[in-house]
């Protein structure tokens, strides 16, 4: 990102006036008061002087070069100012003004026209419809925010200006500073990935917080997060069904747009916040250097009940209560009363004063497997609240392991919190909230060295059926692939399928069945997407008489439902699986998604329990393609169905490696045929030796 955007040497502000409540006037005031030492040019034909600065009637009246022009006037006049910027050959523009894409088609056309002009002139644009930006490293406050909390080492980028002001207000109350605060607005030109490339690799920036309502390019977003290995905090509203496609597919209800974001968060080792308060508390903890290296946590408490609550929260949030070693237990026995509980959670009893807290924390810190300590204090009659707070602060300075103080109560504990806050010590007033936030940070800390960028090109082969797939692919229409072509795709990637034939001839079907019994007969995906809903499937047929009867019955049923007078029938070797598995996929982005210039997240896989009750059980985990084999294995093991596949209660283990291999092959299939917008493979029949795809539907669209 060029320095002229966020570190300009000269700034013109269009719309500044002597009315102090006008947005442009607030921006000018903030720029001056925050110590900007470059040249400032207020632009307004009505005045010769504004806020002690010489004012100019228009941009052309300024003789010197201008690095940046900030525009805050009614949208009807913005285009004229853009033309002046182009004539003046300014380097960058910030448009505060609203009234563009966010207002509808007319505003969208106006924004596109304006953006095209600026791009053709090689002028960069931030906005429109934004708050502006703050670069505290360069003492630039080009925003209309009420206050600036000052310099820090965390950057904040937001698509919402209002969300910026909310976070700024919280920061001003606590004194947390920011290196940069950048409001993206409509993202007509500058977007989040470009800012990530700059901010995440800036040595003065320790972490990046983001509020995003949409992603410019999901693949690049994840790749940048993986490469940076710095904490990225994300709040992404919109867990709606926007990205579900209007197709007859299980996956549409099992892999929503928000599921894609959650999978992206896991893949990129990003810390997800649920709301503004959550986000700010996580910012605070990172500012306090309170990220543990792993999930192993020790609890030290002066009351049994809160210790039990903390234990429940640890289990719920997938943290790990540290198994205290024998050596540490012996040390604890020497420094704590006999009545104390020296198993985690460690109960140091209600009469504990600051010295007992100190001895317990000091001893537990020596335990190699402890990544962090959660210290609970309840204000009992002889509790030394201030002394304990100071001891926690003193020990916190001597260790890299975070010591979290959770002081429960109200009036009595305020003095303790003042000491903790003054010394930047991480603290909470609620057990569940504290453990919830620690778990988010611990997952990042545990995985920060394990993220691996996956290259789609490594999965690409010569797609044998490219021409046939493209023949079915249209820009606006979603089509289901014929059964024969779907089978050909499975065979291309050596996926285990039953012996089968697709035919409209009963004679041909009988010939196949006679040497294959037992068999199943099914409607093709082209005729009936969900066969069981319309009596489109007959299983375990063992005689020719029964076969002929069911074949005719099925053909008549399909004709009755679809109007197709001569439907083809899928005849299949009958596979008796021990369990049924499901693999689905939805694509986020168009069919160029895996090309260098393709934008979007790609395919989201949904894996889990299959069969007719897939949507009832929703035993589903999501994988963003492509993912490495270890993470796929880990996500597979998180499904409930995996317990049965691994061998449950003495039952023999099933073909786990076969089903994992199938998932890897499906990833490869999707990358090589990105025209597939949605896919249902349900069920996969798993036996002790095989994972057999007995039903697959592929939907394509550009």
458 in any annotated domain = no
Residue 224 in any domain: the answer is yes
φ, ψ for residue 239 (rounded to 5)? Answer: -85, 40
Q: Where in the sequence is the domain holding 527, given as residue range(s)? A: 499-573
Q: Is the CB of residue 584 less than 8 Å from the CB of residue 250?
A: yes
At residue 417, what are phi and psi to the nearest 5 degrees?
-65, -35
In which band, very low, low, confident or very high, does the pLDDT at 294 lie, cut at 50, 70 and 90?
Answer: very high
**CA nearest to 632, candidates 679, 665, 669:** 665
For residues 11 and 41, the answer to whether their CB atoms sit within 8 Å is yes
Residue 492 lies in a domain: no
In a domain, 607, yes or no: yes
Q: What are phi and psi of 200, to 5 degrees?
A: -70, -20
Task: Give the model confidence (pLDDT) of 571-596 as tens digits.
Answer: 999 998 899 999 999 999 999 999 98
Residue 397: predicted pLDDT:
96
CB atoms within 10 A of CB 663: 23
Q: What are phi and psi of 462, to 5 degrees?
A: -80, 110
Pair (419, 516) in one structural domain: no
- Nearest-angstrom CA–CA distance, 558 and 415: 76
Residue among 273, 368, 357, 372 at smallest CA distance from 319 = 372
419 and 534 belong to one structural domain: no
Cα of first residue to Cα of last residue in the chain, in angstroms, is 33
C-alpha 211/C-alpha 276 separation (Å) is 9
In a shared domain, residues 45 and 64: yes
- Alpha-carbon dihedral 492, 493, 497, 500, rounded to 10 degrees: 0
Yes or no: say if 520 and 554 are a contact pair by the CB < 8 Å rule: no
Same domain, 586 and 695: yes
Residues 192 and 81 in one domain: yes
Domain count, the chain: 4
The reply to whether 14 falls in a domain is: yes
Query: Closest by alpha carbon to 56, among 46, 66, 64, 65?
Result: 46
CATH of the domain at 311: 3.40.50.261
Task: State the pLDDT confidence band at 242, using cuts at 50, 70 and 90.
Answer: very low
Same domain, 423 and 409: yes
Tell whether 432 is covered by a domain: yes
Give the largest Cα separation in the chain, rounded: 99
Please report, to the nearest 10 degrees, the dihedral formed by the alpha carbons of residues 242, 244, 245, 247 taken in order.
-140
Residue 3: is its pLDDT beyond 50? yes
- 209 shares a domain with 112: yes
The answer to whether residue 283 sits within a structural domain is: no
Last residue of a domain, one of 548, 573, 598: 573
Question: Are 616 and 569 members of one domain?
Answer: no
Say whether both 211 and 308 belong to one domain: no
| CATH classification at residue 510 | 3.30.1490.20
The pairs formed by 458-463 with CB atoms below 8 angstroms and a separation of 24 or more are 458/626, 459/626, 459/667, 459/668, 459/671, 459/672, 460/594, 460/671, 460/672, 461/668, 461/672, 463/492, 463/672, 463/673
Tell me which of 555, 573, 591 is where a domain ends: 573
Q: Does pTM surpass 0.85?
A: yes
Q: What stretches of 568-613 show up as alpha helix (H) in DSSP?
A: none
Q: Token match 């053709």: residue?
A: 120
Work out the pLDDT band at 4, boundaries 50, 70, 90: low
Say how far apart CA 679 and CA 603 lie, in whole Å: 10
Q: Which CATH number is 201's domain given?
A: 3.40.50.720
State the Cα–Cα distance between residues 92 and 90, nearest whole angstrom: 6
Q: What is the pLDDT of residue 530?
A: 66
Judgement on whether residues 176 and 221 belong to the same structural domain of the protein: yes
C-alpha 155: how far from chain center? 18
The 10s digit of each residue's pLDDT in 35-49 is 999 999 999 999 999
User: Is residue 244 in some structural domain?
Assistant: no
Examine the fold and report which residue of 237, 259, 278 is the final residue of a domain before the chain moves on. Answer: 237
* Bridge partners of residue 183, in order along the sequence: 158
Tell me: cis bond preceding 518? Omega within 30 of 0 counts: yes
Predicted confidence (pLDDT) at residue 440 exceeds the cutoff of 90: yes
What's the rounded mean pLDDT across residues 535-556? 91
- Nearest residue to 370 via CA among 439, 440, 322: 322
Average pLDDT, the chain: 92
Q: Are residues 561 and 632 in the same domain?
A: no
The answer to whether residue 253 scores a pLDDT higher than 60 is: no
What is the C-alpha to C-alpha distance for residues 321 and 337, in angstroms, rounded to an integer? 22
Find the angle CA(287)-CA(288)-CA(290) to the nearest 5 degrees. 110
Supply the pLDDT for residue 551.
Answer: 93
Q: Are residues 167 and 213 in the same domain?
A: yes
């Amino acid at each position: 990102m060029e320095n002229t955007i966020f570190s300009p040497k000269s700034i013109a502000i269009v719309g500044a006036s002597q009315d102090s409540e006008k947005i442009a006037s607030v921006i000018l005031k903030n720029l001056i008061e925050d110590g900007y030492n470059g040249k400032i040019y207020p632009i307004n034909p009505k005045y010769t002087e504004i806020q002690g600065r010489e004012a100019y009637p228009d941009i052309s009246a300024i003789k010197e070069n201008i690095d940046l022009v900030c525009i805050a006037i009614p949208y009807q006049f913005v285009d004229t100012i853009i033309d002046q910027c182009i004539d003046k050959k300014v380097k960058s523009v910030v448009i505060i003004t609203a009234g563009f894409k966010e207002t509808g088609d007319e505003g969208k056309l106006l924004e596109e026209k304006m953006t095209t002009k600026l791009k053709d002139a090689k002028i960069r644009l931030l906005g429109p419809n934004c708050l502006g930006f703050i670069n505290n490293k360069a003492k630039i406050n080009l925003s209309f925010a009420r206050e600036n909390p000052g310099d820090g080492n965390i950057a904040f980028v937001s698509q919402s200006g209002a969300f910026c002001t909310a976070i700024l207000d919280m920061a001003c109350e606590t004194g947390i500073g920011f290196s940069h605060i950048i409001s993206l607005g409509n993202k007509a030109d500058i977007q989040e990935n470009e800012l990530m490339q700059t901010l995440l690799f800036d040595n003065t920036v320790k972490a990046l917080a983001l509020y995003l309502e949409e992603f410019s390019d999901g693949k690049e977003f994840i790749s940048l997060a993986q490469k940076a290995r710095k904490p990225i905090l994300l709040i992404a509203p919109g867990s709606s069904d926007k990205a579900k496609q209007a197709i007859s597919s299980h996956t549409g209800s099992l892999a929503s747009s928000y599921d894609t974001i959650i999978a992206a968060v896991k893949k990129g080792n990003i810390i997800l916040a649920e709301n503004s308060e959550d986000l700010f508390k996580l910012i605070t903890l990172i500012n306090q250097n309170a990220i543990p290296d792993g999930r192993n946590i020790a609890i030290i408490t002066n009351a049994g009940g809160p210790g039990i609550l903390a234990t429940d929260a640890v289990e719920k949030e997938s943290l790990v209560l540290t198994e205290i070693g024998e050596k540490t237990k012996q040390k604890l026995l020497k420094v704590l009363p006999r009545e104390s509980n020296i198993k985690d959670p460690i109960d140091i009893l209600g009469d504990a004063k600051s010295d007992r807290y100190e001895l317990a924390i000091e001893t537990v810190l020596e335990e190699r497997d402890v990544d962090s300590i959660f210290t609970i204090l309840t204000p009992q009659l002889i509790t030394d609240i201030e002394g304990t707070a100071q001891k926690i602060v003193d020990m916190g300075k001597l260790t890299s392991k975070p010591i979290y103080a959770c002081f429960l109560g109200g009036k009595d504990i305020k003095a303790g919190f003042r000491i903790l806050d003054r010394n930047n010590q991480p603290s909470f007033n609620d057990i569940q909230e504290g453990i919830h936030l620690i778990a988010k940070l611990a997952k990042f800390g545990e995985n920060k060295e394990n993220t691996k960028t996956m290259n789609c090109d490594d999965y690409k082969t010569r797609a044998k059926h490219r021409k046939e797939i493209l023949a079915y692919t249209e820009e606006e229409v979603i089509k289901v692939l014929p059964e024969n072509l779907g089978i050909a795709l499975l065979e291309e990637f050596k996926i285990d399928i039953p012996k089968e034939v697709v035919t409209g001839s009963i004679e041909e079907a009988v010939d196949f069945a006679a040497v294959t019994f037992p068999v199943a007969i099914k409607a093709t995906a082209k005729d009936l997407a969900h066969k069981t809903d319309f009596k489109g499937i007959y299983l375990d047929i063992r005689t020719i008489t029964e076969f002929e009867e069911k074949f005719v019955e099925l053909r008549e049923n399909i004709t009755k439902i679809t109007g197709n007078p001569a439907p083809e029938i899928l005849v299949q070797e009958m596979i008796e699986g021990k369990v049924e598995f499901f693999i689905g996929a939805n694509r986020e982005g168009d069919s160029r998604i895996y090309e260098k210039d393709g934008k979007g997240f790609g395919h989201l896989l949904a894996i889990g329990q299959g069969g007719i009750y897939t949507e009832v059980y929703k035993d589903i985990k999501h994988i963003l393609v492509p993912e490495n084999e270890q993470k796929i294995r880990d996500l597979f093991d998180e499904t409930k169905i995996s317990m049965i596949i691994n061998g449950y209660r003495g039952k023999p283990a099933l073909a786990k490696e076969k089903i994992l291999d199938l998932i890897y092959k499906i990833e490869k299939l999707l990358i090589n045929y990105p025209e597939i917008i949605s896919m249902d493979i349900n069920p996969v029949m798993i036996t002790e030796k095989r994972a057999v795809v007995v039903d697959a539907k592929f939907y394509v669209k550009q």
